[in-house]
Amino acid sequence: MRGHGFLLANYVPGKSIIHRAPLALKFLLVFGCGLASFIIVDWRISAAVLAILSGLFLLSGAGLKLWGAIRPLAAVLLVIGLFQWWMLGAPTAARIVLNILVCVVAASLLTATTPVQRLLDGVVRAAAPFKRFGADPERFALTIGIMLRSIPYIAGTFADVRDSARARGLERNPRALVLPVFITSVAFARQTGEALAARGLGEAED
């Protein structure tokens, strides 16, 4: 199966100032952009924020990953934009679409400039205060790691099955699309579960 990205850019090794920035600062950037998406009411401000984030992407040397992060959303954003334009007008539609892009690009900047292991270590440290409430930071980070690995795998499986069905003239047959993806996803989940159990990570502690 060929590799596929899904919404967020994959890590691109580098030594840029963005790569070397503290992880906490990157987390704050993502959090701030998410918060800003609820606060910003002017599409021009959203466009300016998006331009700054795109500039940071180029500065990091991972600029080629930017379109890969946005492309899966293009059709959805087009539908959202047209609907909001019809319902609320062009300025509001532009603001909504741009704010979504701001969140996606900010998160992709984090994943494109931070190795997965460092990202997961940061999640463990951030979740540590919740230990007093019974949370397990390591398991939480493991869950995120599995998600980051599983979503691109399943998305890639669907793309491969769709291409295969199209080659056989079955692209309109739901069974030809859904059943192979379902079987492959279940097999992937079983393999992941067996790997975790073999390492003593799949069972809850007594």
End-of-domain residue from the set 82, 114, 146: 114
Local confidence pLDDT in tens for the 206 residues of the chain: 444 445 566 778 888 888 888 888 888 888 888 888 888 889 999 999 999 998 988 888 877 777 777 777 787 788 888 998 998 899 999 999 999 888 888 888 888 888 877 877 877 777 777 777 776 666 666 666 665 565 555 656 666 777 777 777 776 666 766 777 677 767 766 766 665 555 555 554 44
Q: How far apart are CA 52 and CA 69, in angstroms?
A: 16
Q: Are residues 87 and 168 in the same domain?
A: no
Q: Which domain holds residue 141?
A: 116-206
Domain count, the chain: 2
Integer distance in angstroms from the first to the last C-alpha of the chain? 39
Residues 6 and 70 in one domain: yes
- Put simply, whether the predicted model's pTM sits higher than 0.75 gets the answer no
Q: What is d(CA 26, CA 62) in angstroms, rounded to the nearest whole number? A: 15
Domain boundary among 93, 114, 135: 114
Q: Are residues 103 and 5 in the same domain?
A: yes
Are 100 and 194 within one domain? no
Three-state DSSP class for residue 8:
strand
